[in-house]
Amino acid sequence: MANDSLLFLILASLLLSGFFTKTSSAFSIEEASIDDLRLAFKQNQLTSRQLVEFYLKRIGRLNPLLRGVIEVNPDALFLADKADRERKVNTPGSSGGLHGIPILLKDNIATKDKLNTTAGSYALLRSVVPRDAGVVMKLRKAGAIILGKASLSEWAYFRSNGAPSGFCGRSGQGKNPYVLSADPCGSSSGSGI
Ligand SMILES: *[C@@H]1O[C@H](CO)[C@@H](O)[C@H](O)[C@H]1NC(C)=O
């Protein structure tokens, strides 16, 4: 009997101290904040490649239904591997900011890379932007990985043409992930989705 209560006490205090959650399964990418992700990088619990692969898989699985993403960056895994290598050898900047953290950008934010920048419209497909937008320069400088372009209400509603929230020609109707029939809002529908 006494042994049982002792065991119970030990288990209870381990649980309360977060022993199980910290050492085993508890880290969840879905719920992680950027700080959590950075800590996981630091503690070798996670790599940028794993994180990017997780998101690419999730986009592949959910996007045919939700249509929150127009394009993914074909260089995303390459950039993730690069970030992982930099972290390993402690390259300056590799421990700070957004280093190795993937981010999707609304499709009206210019990126001078393999991604198209079209505000969701076929009219701008294959247009060539002169440079990264200011915010993109800052994101890259902080180490972020541009994972792809999020859909939007086409032209960010600029044309006020009566198209529904979350609709753009290039990806179709974005859906509210919690209630598929509900308004996905906008104009940053894809970012929200
Ligand atoms: C950009 O658009 C062109 C033309 O449709 C397409 O071939 C290319 O794959 C697009 N880029 C990305 C990264 O999806």
115 lines ligand 1 (CB under 6 A): yes
Kindly report the protein residue whose alpha carbon is nearest to atom 14 of ligand 1: 71
Q: How many angstroms separate the alpha carbon of residue 116 from the centre of ligand 1? A: 6
Instruction: Record the tokens describing residue 160, joined without a space.
Output: 């006020």
- At residue 3 the predicted structure's pLDDT band, cuts being 50, 70 and 90, is low
Strands (E), 33-125: 69-72, 102-106
Distances (CA, A) of 173 to 51, 64, 100, 142, 157: 27, 10, 30, 33, 14
For 101-121, what is each residue's pLDDT tens digit? 999 999 999 999 999 999 999
Q: pLDDT: is 31 or 8 the higher one?
A: 31
Kindly report the protein residue whose alpha carbon is nearest to atom 7 of ligand 1: 126
| Inter-axis angle of helices 76-88 and 48-66, nearest 10 | 160
74 lines ligand 1 (CB under 6 A): yes
Q: What is the pTM of this model?
A: 0.85
For 15-38, what is each residue's pLDDT tens digit? 444 444 444 457 899 899 999 999
The 3-state DSSP class for residue 6 equals helix
pLDDT given at position 24: 45
> Can you give the residue ranges of every domain in the chain?
40-192
pLDDT given at position 134: 98
Name the residue type at position 140: R
Instruction: Record the tokens describing residue 19, joined without a space.
Output: 């022993």
pLDDT greater than 50 at residue 148: yes
Q: Which residue from 116, 122, 124, 129 has its CB within 8 A of the most atoms of ligand 1, so it is best to mutate? A: 116
- How far apart, in whole angstroms, are the C-alpha atoms of residue 143 and residue 97? 7
Q: How many angstroms separate the alpha carbon of residue 115 from the centre of ligand 1? A: 7
Q: How many angstroms separate the alpha carbon of residue 2 from the centre of ligand 1? A: 69
Pick the CATH number of 40-192 from 3.40.50.620, 3.40.50.300, 3.20.20.70, 3.90.1300.10: 3.90.1300.10
71 lines ligand 1 (CB under 6 A): yes
